[in-house]
Every structure is written in C-alpha cells, then in structure tokens.
Amino acid sequence: MNIDDAKRLDAADPLRSLRDLFTLPDGVTYLDGNSLGALPRATPERIRRAVEQEWGRDLIKSWNTAGWIDLPRRLGDRLAPWLGARPGEVLVADSTSINLYKVLHAALQLQQGKRRVVVSERSNFPTDNYIAQSVARAHGGELVLAERPEDIPPLLDERCAVLMLTHVNYRSGRMHDMGLLTRWAHQAGALAVWDLCHSAGAVPIDLLGAAADFAIGCGYKYLNGGPGAPAFVWMHPRHEGQVWQPLTGWMGHANPFDFDSDYQPAPGIQQYQCGTPAVLAATGLDTALDVFDAAQKLGGMKALRNKSLALTEAFIDSVEARVPGAVIATPRDAAMRGSQVSFSLPRGTDGYAVMQALIARGFIGDFRAGDPELLRFGFAPLYNGFADVVRAVDTLADIVATRSWDAPEFTSRSKVT
Amino acid sequence: MNIDDAKRLDAADPLRSLRDLFTLPDGVTYLDGNSLGALPRATPERIRRAVEQEWGRDLIKSWNTAGWIDLPRRLGDRLAPWLGARPGEVLVADSTSINLYKVLHAALQLQQGKRRVVVSERSNFPTDNYIAQSVARAHGGELVLAERPEDIPPLLDERCAVLMLTHVNYRSGRMHDMGLLTRWAHQAGALAVWDLCHSAGAVPIDLLGAAADFAIGCGYKYLNGGPGAPAFVWMHPRHEGQVWQPLTGWMGHANPFDFDSDYQPAPGIQQYQCGTPAVLAATGLDTALDVFDAAQKLGGMKALRNKSLALTEAFIDSVEARVPGAVIATPRDAAMRGSQVSFSLPRGTDGYAVMQALIARGFIGDFRAGDPELLRFGFAPLYNGFADVVRAVDTLADIVATRSWDAPEFTSRSKVT
C-alpha cells in the first residue's frame, strides 16, 4: 500500500468523520491509543463546565442536580453495549487493579474454599498477576502462570478456582477466544474473569454471550476517558447476591444514606462501588462515550472492527515488506488479533532508540523492554487512518535503513518508556 | 456579635486575602466546605491546561514531561506538613475507603494474628466502620464499637489490635485528642489509625508528634481538591518494610517498569499506591494546595486554627442566643472542636426543611437525619468570614421564628441530603 492507496481508503472510510471528534496535535501521528487514548474535541468544554458550574457554582447541590451520585451507574449503562452486557450490569469506578481485586475476591468466595488456584499467563500485564497473587494467598491459594497460551488448558484442573485472562495481551496484541476459554473454564469447574483493558472500545466483546463471570477494564485507553479515568467492572447477573466483595465502602451499601451501623451490600453491580465517585475524572469518560454514540450511528463495533483489522493488516504487511528483519509478534489471524501490532527488530537495532527517533519525527508508539524487545503500535479505529499506517512505516523503514536511531538523543533511556 | 462587629473582624482578619483565591457564587454563603470544598480560582485554568496541553497535545509523553507519574508522591510531599508528617511519608491516591482498607490490613498484619479486634465508635462515618468490619473479619476478628467517646478506653484490652478513629467526627464536629488516644492505644498494645477527612486543612494535626501508626483522609473537603479528588494515606516510618498491604497493584511495586512476574513492594509509603494515578482529579488537588502555600505565608495552621475557632465560637454563641431551643452538639471546649458546628432544633421543627429554607435564601449547610437530627455548618477559615456567621444566624433565626420552613417546597425530601 502506498500513500495514494491509503488516501483513497481513508476517503472511502465510513468512519472518517469520527476523527474530527478528536483533537490531535499538528504534525503528530498518534499510534499509542492502546496506552492513553486521544482527547475528544468536546472534552475540555465539558470538563470546564463540570469544574466551573457543577463544582464552583452549584457546589454540593450537584450531587443531585448534576447527577454526580449516579455517575458510576450511568456511565456503566452507557458502556454496557460495547461489552456485550446489559444496562444495570456495569459500574464505572476506581482503577483496573482495584476492580480486579474486588472481582477476584468475589470469584474465590463463590468457590467456597473448594478451589483456591488462580490461573493466568506470565505475559499478562503485571498488575493483574500481582493482584491475583495477593487475592489467591488471602484465600489460602496461589497464582499459577501459563508460559504460553497453549499451556492454559492443562492448568484448568480440579484445583483451579478462577481463570483470569487479559482478553487482548498488552504486549503482543494477541486476542484470546473469550467464549472458548470461558467454556473450558466452566467445564473444569472454574470461573472466568476477563480483563478488557486492551479490548473495550477496540474489539467486539460479548460477555453475556460468552457467559463470562466477571470482567474489568480501563477507561483511558481505547475508551479515551483521559489519564487516570475511572475503570469499569461487570459481574454476570447469575452471581448477584451470592457473595460480598471486600472493599465494602458506603457507596456499595444497600442504603448508603441511611447510615446504618452494619454493612449490607447493595444488590447487583452497585455493591462493587466503594467510595465517592471521582466526578471530574468520570466526566472525561462520559464525554468520550459521546464519540461511541456517534460511532454507533456509523455502523458501531462491526464497522470499527472492520477498520481496525484492515489497519493492522496493512501495517503488518508494510512492516514485513519494508523493514528487514522485523519479526511480527501479533497474530496474522484476524480472530486472534486485537487492535495493536507489536514487532521486534533484529539484534543490533535498539528498539528503544528506534521508537525515540520515530517520536522525534512525530510518530508516537510505545516501546517495551523484555524478551523480545517489542515496538508496539495501537490503531484506534476512531481516529487512525490508512495514511497514518503508510507514513509511519515509511518513516520507520527510513530510520532503520539509515540507522538514524543510533544517536545519543535517542539511545539514552528515560524513566518511563 | 452584629454585622458591624463582624465586618470589623473581617477587615482585621490577616487571612482575609485568601478568600479572593476562591470562586464562590454570588449571593451564596457557603458553609458546607466540610462536605465539598469550594473551587479555588486558579483551578479551572490549571485543569484546562492539564486537559488540553498535557493530555491533548503532549499525550503519553506527559507521564514524564508533566510529571504525571510522580503526582501521588509529589502531592503527598506538599500535603505532609499540614499533617505533621515529613515529605516522603504521604501518598495521594484512590479514595478514603480504599486507603483505609489498605492501612487496616497492614495494621492487623503487624499484630501477627495475636490481636484481631478493631475498636471504633458507632458514630464514626459509616464507610470507616464498614471497611473495618470487612478487614477485621478477613483476619478472623471483629469490629467493636463504642457508643460514646468515654466508652473507648475500656475497649482497649488485650484483644484490641487497632484503635480506628475519625479525628473530627463528621456529625458532631467533636475532635478527639489524637496524642492521648494514640498513647492509650499503644499502652494497651494496639495500633492507632486516624481518619483525617474532617481535619486535614482545617485543624492542627501532628501525626509524628502523636506517634500515630497510620492515617488516611479526603482530598475534597477542607483541602478543596474538587469532587472525588484522590484521598491520602500516611504510615509512620517505623512500620516501613514490615508488612504488605493487599492492594498490590503495579504502581506499588519496587520496580514497576521492570515488569517482574512477582510482586515486591516498594519501600515506604509508595507501596500504598495501587493503580495508575487519576491525573485530572489529582490536578485539582495540586492547585488547591497552592492556596495552602499562600496560607502558610500568612501564619499557616496557627492562623487558620485561630480564625476557625473564632468563627465556630461566634456561631455557637449566636445560635444559642438567637434560636430558641437549639441544642449545640459540638463541644464548646476549643480543644475538642473541629471546624464545624452541629445543632438540633426543638421537636416540631423539621431540620431538613429548615436547611432547605436556608439554602433557598443562599446559605448552604448540611443536614443529617438521625437521632438527634442535626444541622451542620462547616467554617472553612480559608474562605469563610465573620459576616458569614452573622448573616447565616440572622437568616436561620428568621426562618425558625416565622416558621417559613413549613412549606411543601422545603419539607419534601430529595434523594441525597
């Protein structure tokens, strides 16, 4: 694909208008929406209103008049259809790590001490495995890690309480078959907890169709809620009223404003709220969901997924064709691919420095050290296009071919990569 | 005190200029800063910059360039002197309820199973007691509640692991003697956990001087961080490296960017971070702390406390003089008083309706049902003055004397009070 092909595809893209709903800096091609989503154009004004009018002018009244008190449920209802869930089943609150803690405790309680092992993958995002270690130990169990996806099924044995997986792997971009793995987990007597951090807003998700047990995920990646936007949590309705999650804050109480002495959990997903909603942070996510409403009118997740797969496929093809020695870590099989592409460069090419050189030329992706060292590029179908793909690979190929990455300003490491 | 006296006192107030650092709506006297602090004048512009420039323009780079990654520690350092703590000991993250969960687990671990009872008061804010019930049960213990403050000492027995108290009671405004109760707890072999939600920014706090063990508190009351601003957590340095708190997210890891398979806690308070910082919410608190920097130059907490006590004393005197049958629930003893005043009205006077009538006339306080039903008025020495006191009591006295509260628009209850 050359730039003329790409421009033709962009011009014909039925989702093209969505890009105008974002503010992206001039001269920047942003391919890191899998880490921090871009700024929706409407967000600054909406947050300004929340700050100046809801907080500054209406003050404490806004708990009622601006609906602050309902934000966790209202945002959950807006998000539900993008997760394959129903309104009333999703809550927006706290962080991914904290929500994972809640649902893992709940899942282990559901196993009533008969099973205590949490199974996951070593390649899972670290916070998931750290939280799972903590929760499994609290229940007298342990976290057992599969080295490769194909090592998961043998671990689904009579000790396995919970299969906890990230739907789309943050490094490789590989996507699990949620329906199949959930079925296998259930057949083995385990429950399935899904981390949707790299899925929500980017790939089709059908939690109810998969009959998954719990899910959590991030509000600031493909959902574009802003840095540190609250995360989400979902529980299958069949588990309602069975267990308590341990973060028993007043906002998860059945009657928070009765100020009872004893905790009594609210029915359903409301129990998974703990403290007061982070209003300003949630407001960013609320505005970002307007963009998804617009996307719904243009074909919804089906259209987003088609575009995402076309973008990532074009990127894989171009990198393989243009960058000698690049090894793609992301599956070519569309059914196994999220909305990002990761690859390593040949020994002797400093992936970190290549990414810094790319950034210096206006192309922002992400670099992760490890084995193999991976460059990662996220393609957000809401705002990325085919010209982004072509220009990024052109620039990457040039940087590698000319070794222009091999300069002190690119090779010296900063704190966060 | 009449309005002329009040105006003279306001004119002579050395902290008078601080009020101009807040945006308060015209025609409103805000006496509910104990629930949600007012909007600092600089906050909208600072949040706009965070949204448009840090997020929208600089995107993922802002983790480094805007210092997002350091926010929890940097804000903790700024807050530390107002808590009687040192820089490096305080972290700003998550909610009050979640931070309480962390420190209660840590405190019970420190007791190594030898003691499992958490002692608190029935009148504590519900979320504290709910969280304590959950944590105590997880350790095989229980929460035991004192009915009155004087019932606390007998509960500090050989079963007591932790004395958990809110420094200033949210309903009565009564302040505990932190040094004395911490000493009693320690003499009994218990640890002391302090909730500073209604203290931070309003009263002198000396955590190190009291040799307290842990403290947590809210960022959006007297600290003015905005609705749902992140909370804070402090641990005495003598407990460093002794225990793990259970919310073991990656940001509390010793080397979060090494992506180790196993969790290893960071040294000191950093372990109490869990997930990614809520950047936009934390930015509100960052800006609010500029106001405290300005207050520091005008006499600091000593000056704030003097003014706060003078305001609450004037309010108590005026209510007692002007509102027949009002019974003050807040101690007259300055050493036992926070920065709010609560009182009940005689049977037959609907406190809720009186508060609605006050709000309709521009005076915002808070009403809490219960026994007795209390009207609460917070006096934030950063932005409240003596004229606020006089006008509020004038209006209150008029509403009660004329029974103008007894109208359907005031007596019908809304969802959140």
* A117, A142, A156 from A181: Cα distances, Å: 16, 20, 10
The band of B369, judged by pLDDT with boundaries at 50, 70 and 90, is confident
- Is B335 touching A (CB cutoff 8 A)? no
Assess whether pLDDT exceeds 90 at residue A372: no
Phi, psi angles (nearest 5°) of residue A229: -55, 150
Same CATH fold, B46-294 and B3-30+299-411? no
Per-residue model confidence (pLDDT) at position B116:
98
CB B95 to CB A249 under 8 A? yes
pLDDT value of position A88 = 98
Question: Do the annotations mark residue B105 as ligand-binding?
Answer: no
* Shortest Cα distance, chain B CAs vs residue A338, angstroms: 20
pLDDT tens for A295-320 read: 999 999 999 999 999 999 999 999 99
Longest dimension (CA), chain A: 70
Is B376 an active-site residue?
Answer: yes
- For range A107-111, the mean pLDDT: 98
Does residue A160 carry a pLDDT above 60?
A: yes
Closest-CA residue of chain A to B244: A134
> Tens digit of pLDDT for each residue in B14-60?
999 999 999 999 999 999 999 999 999 999 999 999 999 999 999 99
Cα angle vertex B279, ends B274, B280, to 5°?
140
Q: What is the DSSP string of B37-92?
A: PPEETTHHHHHHHIIIIIIIITGGGHHHHT-GGGHHHHHHHHHHHHHT--TTSEEE
Q: What ipTM score was computed for the predicted complex, to two decimals?
A: 0.97
CA distance A25 to chain B (A): 5
Residues B261, A122: C-beta atoms closer than 8 Å: yes
Residue in chain A nearest B35 by alpha carbon:
A60
Return the pLDDT at A186. 98
Determine contact: B134 vs chain A, CB below 8 A: yes
Residue A368, pLDDT score: 85
For the annotated binding site of A for pyridoxal 5'-phosphate, the residues are: 96-97, 125-128, 166, 195, 198, 220, 250, 276
Mean pLDDT of A135-141: 97
Cross-chain CB nearest to B44 (options A51, A229, A261): A51
- Would you state the pLDDT for residue A91? 98
- Specify the pLDDT at position B414: 57
CATH 1.10.10.10 fits B3-30+299-411, yes or no: no
- Give chain A's mean pLDDT: 96
The pLDDT of B270-295, averaged and rounded, is 97
User: Is position B263 annotated as part of the catalytic site?
Assistant: no
Looking at residue A27, what is its pLDDT? 95
For residues A361-367, average pLDDT: 96
Instruction: Tell me the pairing of strands A117-121 and A39-40.
Output: unpaired
Q: In the structure encoding, which two tokens stand for residue B221, read together?
A: 């009351």
Are B145 and A261 an interchain contact pair (Cβ–Cβ within 8 Å)? yes
| Nearest CB to B126; choose among A52, A260, A277 | A260
Average pLDDT over every residue of B179-192: 98
- Interface check for A39 against chain B (CB to CB < 8 A): the answer is yes
Indicate the residue of A44, A256, A368 with minimum beta-carbon distance to B51. A44
CATH of domain A3-30+300-411: 3.90.1150.10
Is pLDDT at B364 greater than 90 in this prediction? yes
Task: Name which of A23, A95, A366 is nearest B275 (Cβ-Cβ).
Answer: A95
Nearest of B271, B283, B288, B181 to residue B234 by alpha carbon: B271
B149: number of Cβ within 10 Å: 17
Q: Are B378 and B346 in contact (CB under 8 A)?
A: no
- The one catalytic residue in A73, A174, A221, A337 is A221
Q: Is the pLDDT of residue B415 over 60?
A: no
Would an 8 Å CB–CB cutoff place A281 in contact with chain B? yes
Can B220 be counted among the known catalytic residues?
A: yes
Mutate to test the interface with B, among A41, A52, A59, A120 (most CBs of B within 10 A): A59
Using CB atoms, pick whichever of A58, A131, A250 lies closest to residue B130. A250
CA B360 to chain centre: 26
Query: Average model confidence (pLDDT) for chain B?
Result: 96
- In this prediction, residue A414 carries a pLDDT of 57
Asked if pLDDT for residue B416 goes beyond 70, the answer is: no
For chain A, the three-class secondary structure string (H helix, E strand, C coil) is CCHHHHHHHHHHCCCHHHHHHEECCCCCEECCCCCCCCEECCHHHHHHHHHHHHHHHCHHHHHHHCCHHHHHHHHHHHHHHHHCCCCCCEEECCCHHHHHHHHHHHHHHHCCCCCCEEEEECCCCHHHHHHHHHHHHHCCCEEEEECCHHHHHHHCCCCEEEEEEECECCCCCEECCHHHHHHHHHHCCCEEEEECCCCCCCCCCCHHHHCCCEEEECCCCCCCCCCCCCCEEEECHHHCCCCCCCCCCHHHECCHHHCCCCCCECCHHHHHCCCCCCHHHHHHHHHHHHHHHHHHHCCHHHHHHHHHHHHHHHHHHHHHHHCCCCEECCCCCHHHECCEEEEECCCCCCHHHHHHHHHHCCEECEEECCCCCEEEEECCCCCCCHHHHHHHHHHHHHHHHHCCCCCHHHHCCCCCC
Pull the structure tokens for residue A57. Answer: 């002018």
Given an 8 Å threshold on Cβ–Cβ distance, is A25 in contact with B279?
A: no
Q: Is A255 on the interface with B (CB under 8 A)?
A: no
B141: region left, alpha or beta (phi > 0 left; psi from -120 to 50 alpha): beta
A164-194 pLDDT, tens digit per residue, is 999 999 999 999 999 999 999 999 999 999 9
C-alpha to C-alpha distance for B93 and B69, rounded to whole angstroms: 12
Give the domain B46-294 fold: Aspartate Aminotransferase; domain 2 (3.40.640)
Q: Angle B20-B25-B30 (CA atoms, 0-180°, nearest 5)?
A: 85
Mean predicted confidence (pLDDT) in A217-234 = 98
Q: Residue B417: which pLDDT band, with cuts at 50, 70 and 90?
A: very low
pLDDT at A417 over 80: no
Assign A412 a pLDDT band (cuts: 50, 70, 90): confident
Q: What's the per-residue H, E or C state across B211-237?
A: CCCEEEECCCCCCCCCCCCCCEEEECH
Mean pLDDT of the region B89-114? 98
Residue boundaries of the structural domains of chain A: 3-30+300-411, 46-294
